[in-house]
Chains A and B, each alone.
Chain A
């Protein structure tokens, strides 16, 4: 996979594999994911339910619980392999060097503690600040994320805030220790569009101020187009396409990416008809052995029964599809249609 030559990467993931063990079965939720996050940039991971995008992000922070396990690959964060570091080192990293915000702000905030108490915790653990100093910093953080009258809000409980406000508190909490990498897992999916616009803009502005890198996990191609520099499209545990954001939207290569864009109803232009992708995502225990998209792909042929590798194309996209390899036979018709 191609990266900018002069740019330093804050995170490099290589062949990451995370599986869930149910009885005797191994469900490969993330199966050989490789990508880099350049410093100060935003990488979008886009995919539908079950594509493995959230599991990838949880793996980075080693937040995978039994029966799940990282079974292979490396996660290189500033020269350290996060799959190998001790749990106590991991605790130093979480919330301090790498932070995460989740979709549902209400379930991620503790309902019985005030906003201030929860923000102070981070300062206490990572910076050893006392109550007075911690509260002062908490108020500063709330102000930073645009919460009005932060000195009053700091003593309130999560239920007293609206959804948008809570997500801003989550962002304040995630940014409390000025992390170098922020993982945002569907940060605006539960919010109304006008509030979403505020939150996305806020993340963008804060990113520029702090200079952090962001991994934006989303199913929304609009959010990707507006916030990301690079995009990885995931399908069934694999990255099927990786490109910079302009290339991806202008010249999508993988049939799945093309299918996604064709099935998207747009508000900004008039469309005649949506062209859906046929069928459903295969169940994890019924994964095809070859290309995982083949059963739904309009171009699938005999060769697709073998698993394709992610290969670079001349246009700058990395694509996991036989069509873009010399082995592709144009004349052959789809075998999956019969």
Chain B
């Protein structure tokens, strides 16, 4: 029986844009616009997408680092959005975040020991200083650092080691859920692999649940059980990792997967080029938000927003997609409106998109 650890419903996160005469709110950046998903206990769910799709904002909203505009976030049976400041502090020991830049998220004037102790003191973990120090040593060893290094400062560590400190800090308060926001993106591949393996090992040993936010689909395929693909504040596709990679349904997911360079010179991918850039989240396109770049878009897509649902009954039951034509494209009934395998033509054709 799987247990929902995190249940997000109708989450919206709008950021006001101040302007005009009296600094009034003139508009909103709709960073996350009505998304719903859940994460089961012990599972790794990845949120993927390009810059500005709202994946990091989702992570922050779940932790209430930003106050969500609308929607509910239920963590372990408790409604997060309704909690008071002190209740929130208590529950934060159960949900921790690891950031991309380990250097910017560690205080340069504190030793590793101080950094790790601070979190435990706030969360009242360990009865005495001695007990906490023992735990620091234990944590250092868990993440593959040596105990004598605990009296050093962050600048004395390499990038990969700093990320291990970030992980140790997150673990120090015994969390259930760890949100990893581009946690391995800044690391070199040889080090990245070390950290990924560490995270997998910790998950097995401590029964952790991960919400893994990343733009790197290679990393995501390796670590996650389920994947949520976001585009411009919306979920466009969601499903089991294998199903998403092997049977992507949404034209955006397909384009995204085809765009990644394959580290094998013999495999030449049949690349789908997308026109132009991601539109502004201040005034997102009507209907399906992807229609301005989608080769399959019709008038229906420009006016009516598709719902996220299971379209193809033959694929995995967890696999949902928000596209009017997902099935018809699959069956070859609905064809692309223009050639999408030539970069230059696509670029030449971009005018209207940019001007719009």
Contact = CB atoms under 8 A, between A and B. Distances in A.
Interface of A: 48-49, 146-149, 162-165, 192-198, 200-202, 205, 219-227, 245-246, 249-250, 259-268, 270-271, 273-278, 280-281
A263 B193 contact: yes
Contact of A201 (B50, B263, B343): B343
Contacts of A147: 347
Interface in B212-246: 215-223, 242, 245
A194 B259 contact: yes
A200 B261 contact: yes
A271 B222 contact: yes
Nearest to B348: A146
Interface string B319-356: 00000000000000000000000011011101100110
B292 to A, nearest CB: 13
A147 B353 CA distance: 12
Contacts of A198: 273-274, 343, 346-347
B343 A197 contact: yes
A226 B261 contact: yes
B203 interface: no
Contact of B277 (A149, A195, A273): A195
Q: What's the dominant secondary structure at chain B's contact region?
A: helix
Interface in B162-196: 188-194, 196
Most chain B CB neighbours (cut-off 10 Å) among A192, A223, A260, A281: A192
Contact of A274 (B197, B242, B258): B197
A193 B218 contact: no
Contacts of A165: 277
Interface string B233-276: 00000000010010000000001111111111111010101100
17 contacts: A48-B188, A48-B190, A148-B350, A192-B50, A193-B50, A194-B255, A194-B274, A197-B259, A202-B343, A219-B189, A222-B260, A225-B265, A267-B260, A268-B269, A277-B190, A280-B161, A280-B191
Interface residues of B, number: 54
Most chain B CB neighbours (cut-off 10 Å) among A147, A223, A268: A268
A164 B346 CA distance: 14
Contacts of B347: 146-148, 198, 202
A261 B245 CA distance: 21
A249 B219 contact: no
A274 B193 contact: yes
Contacts of B216: 265
B42 interface: no
Contacts of B351: 148-149
